[in-house]
Structure 1
Amino acid sequence: MSKSLTPTQPLTPELLQQIKREAKILKRNSQKALRHKACLSIVARRYGFESWKNCFEAFKNAFKSWRDHGKDRCAAASADESKSYYFVQLHDFFERSFFSHWVGWADDGYELRVPSQINPAWFIRVFRETRKETLYMIETKEDYKRWTLFWHGSALVECDLMLSEVPTFLSPEPSYSRPRLK
């Protein structure tokens, strides 16, 4: 039986974001030798949690009332025609994917891609009407925090908000899922 650990800091959204950021850096520095979930567990232990699962459960319990505030509103909201959006999907363990376009080739032969601004009306129609799936409209920092911490899934994130929350969002990234140049 393992001993129960006590978190070293108060449970705040900023602490959870910090754990996620440090895990991402650890994964990047490990040259992809460690899976993201393993990196999350390593960082969670540094902050006094037994594992990533226990860390995430502690945060979920602490934020139950805060967690779902605005979820239904964001899931049903329409796009503001005067704003631009990025289509972003947040998967389990905070891995992010997005609609992107090609900008060049990396030194190792993989495509370099950057996120693309999209037509929100088309995505809303496809996700909500055709596929009957949830598509969140994220336009405030509070909704962004709730979406990244708890809701996950597909979202249209207002461009300026996305760039303020993730300054490196527009940095070109290799697309390892696409074939490599020979």
Structure 2
Amino acid sequence: MSNSLVFTQSLTPELLQKIKREAKVLKRQSQKTLRHRACLAIVARRYGFESWETCLESFQQAFKSWRDHGRDLCAAAQADDSRSYYFVQLHDYFERSWFSHWVGWSDDGFELRVPSKVKPAWFIRVFRECRKETLYVIETEEDYNRWTLFWHGPALVECDLMLSEVPHFLSPEPSYNRPRLT
């Protein structure tokens, strides 16, 4: 299987982030008529890849050793009590969800929600001890990049780090999966 058609740029985490950002912009511009995965495929082809899957595979091969560095440490790390954290779940195809609270109603009648700071000890106990699942504690930019690019899953992300990586993170968003106000 060929990884790319005509690829001239070096494979860097910044390039993968750029492809993901452009896919999000494309999805927004299409007014959600295109699924996120289709947008990723379109943007990946712009950069010379056959598909999103070959793009992701190319990056995974290039960063195999970089990818796994620190994974076990983040999965076992304890949260620093002097810091604040957000609970963020990164799903496949880079879709994010988070623990949030209600702040009002949108013009079309849906709840507006914003991310909430959480008590890390409770999340660590529930995920690691009760549910026996992996929960990453992300406190550095490099670990954040590895988590978003490769590890995915639930994480406690240090608040200042999350806001520096995703500046619009605290913007209220409609909760379309909840019932509409009638």
Q: TM-score scaled to structure 1, two decimals?
A: 0.97
Relative distance call for 1:4 and 1:12 in structure 2 (3 A) is closer
User: What does 1:16-165 correspond to in 2, within 5 Å?
Assistant: 16-165=16-165
Please give the secondary structure, in 1, of the residue aligned with 2:60. Answer: helix
- Once residues 7 and 54 of structure 2 are traced to their aligned partners in structure 1, the CA distance between those partners, rounded to angstroms, is 10
Letter in 1 for 2:140: T
User: What does 1:2-13 correspond to in 2, within 5 Å?
Assistant: 5-13=5-13
- Structure 1 unaligned residues grouped into runs of 5+: none
State whether residues 27 and 39 of structure 2, in contact with CA within 8 Å, keep that contact through their aligned partners in structure 1: yes
Indicate whether 1:177 and 2:177 are aligned: yes
How far is the alpha carbon of 1:8 from its aligned partner? 3.4
State whether residues 5 and 48 of structure 2, in contact with CA within 8 Å, keep that contact through their aligned partners in structure 1: yes
How far is the alpha carbon of 1:80 from its aligned partner? 0.1
Please give the secondary structure, in 2, of the residue aligned with 1:150. Answer: helix
Aligned residues between the structures: 182
Please give the secondary structure, in 2, of the residue aligned with 1:11. Answer: coil
How far is the alpha carbon of 1:9 from its aligned partner? 1.4
Q: Which deviations, in whole Å up to 9, do the C-alpha atoms of 1:47-95 show, x marking residues without a partner?
A: 1111000000000000001000000000000010000000000000000
How far is the alpha carbon of 1:19 from its aligned partner? 0.4
- Once residues 161 and 153 of structure 1 are traced to their aligned partners in structure 2, the CA distance between those partners, rounded to angstroms, is 17
- Once residues 138 and 20 of structure 1 are traced to their aligned partners in structure 2, the CA distance between those partners, rounded to angstroms, is 20
Letter in 1 for 2:129: E
Letter in 2 for 1:118: V
Letter in 2 for 1:67: R
Letter in 1 for 2:75: A
Relative distance call for 1:2 and 1:16 in structure 2 (3 A) is closer
- Structure 2 unaligned residues grouped into runs of 5+: none
State whether residues 3 and 55 of structure 2, in contact with CA within 8 Å, keep that contact through their aligned partners in structure 1: no
Q: TM-score scaled to structure 2, two decimals?
A: 0.97
How far is the alpha carbon of 1:46 from its aligned partner? 0.6
Letter in 1 for 2:170: L
Q: For the aligned residues, what is the CA RMSD?
A: 1.4
Deviating above 2 A after TM superposition, structure 1's stretches of 4 or more consecutive aligned residues are 1-4
Relative distance call for 1:53 and 1:3 in structure 2 (3 A) is closer
Relative distance call for 1:9 and 1:179 in structure 2 (3 A) is same
Relative distance call for 1:143 and 1:36 in structure 2 (3 A) is same
How far is the alpha carbon of 1:149 from its aligned partner? 0.2
- Once residues 76 and 33 of structure 1 are traced to their aligned partners in structure 2, the CA distance between those partners, rounded to angstroms, is 40
- Once residues 155 and 18 of structure 1 are traced to their aligned partners in structure 2, the CA distance between those partners, rounded to angstroms, is 22
